[in-house]
Amino acid sequence: MSLPHALITALVEQPSSGSDLASRFDRSIGYFWHATHQQIYRELGRLEEAGWVESLPPESGRGRKRVYQVLPAGRKELKRWVAEQQDPKPLRDEFMVRLRAEAVIGPTGLADDIRRRLALHKEKLALYQAIEARDFAGVEEGGSKKQQLQHLVLNAGILQETQWIAFSEKALGILGETGDGNCASD
């Protein structure tokens, strides 16, 4: 995925100033595609140079924000990008290699990191579930296509976090550890 396309998507959803866009990005797309605020501002400049977005003049006075909106060329580019066929990305996770290394040289104390990661996945799952309860109550039954697709993306995150939690708990079990730091045999 590319940051330009993520930003165009967010701007199609709602024209925004750079700071508003960065804030919205942090609360939505940013869960699935991380970008710093600096990267977002830099990319907005590139998108404007490419003729895909335009910034509207600030209303008036100092400190007024420039609002960006998507131009027809930006919509055309987004449609082209969405229609591209892409193969699934292979799993490339350093943690998997660390588990393999634990198998041949352990014990190394990896269980401590697994417990830390487990807690992070539980936090993220709780956050996603809170977003779901707040923003998507009743969407399955009667939401618009837009709402249903946004909910589907959130569901992918919920499923991913649920899988990581189950995976982490299983790894701790194999290592003879429980999620609380005690040995399973204690």
The pLDDT score that the predictor gives to residue 186 is 42
Measured CA to CA, the distance from residue 126 to residue 17 in angstroms comes to 29
Answer with the one of 33, 50, 83 that is the final residue of a domain. Answer: 83
Asked whether residue 64 falls in the same domain as residue 118, the answer is no
Task: Answer with the one of 60, 83, 106 that is the final residue of a domain.
Answer: 83
Contact of 53 with 70, CB cutoff 8 Å: yes
CB 184 within 8 A of CB 173: yes
Is 107 domain-assigned?
Answer: yes
Strand 16-17 with 53-55, pairing: unpaired
Q: In total, how many domains does the chain have?
A: 2
Residue 173 · residue 161 · CB < 8 Å = no
Residue 148 lies in a domain: yes
Per-residue pLDDT at 96: 92
Range of the domain at 61: 3-83
Q: Are 22 and 15 in contact (CB under 8 A)?
A: no
CB 96 within 8 A of CB 83: no
Pick the closest to residue 106 from 169, 171, 50 (CA basis): 171
Cβ proximity of 21 and 68 under 8 Å: yes
Query: Of 54, 83, 112, which residue constitutes the final position of a domain?
Result: 83
The pLDDT score that the predictor gives to residue 167 is: 97
DSSP 3-state assignment of 25?
helix
Instruction: Specify whether 100 is located in the same domain as 33.
Output: no
List, edge to edge, every strand of the sheet that includes 67-70.
Answer: 16-17, 67-70, 53-55
- At residue 61, the pLDDT reads 55
- pLDDT at position 59 is 65
Q: Can you give 56-71 as a three-state secondary structure string?
A: CCCCCCCCCCCEEEEC
Please identify every stretch of the chain with a pLDDT value under 70, giving residue numbers as ranges: 1, 59-63, 140-141, 178-186
pTM over 0.75: yes
Task: Tell me what pLDDT residue 83 has.
Answer: 92
For residue 12, the model assigns a pLDDT of: 93
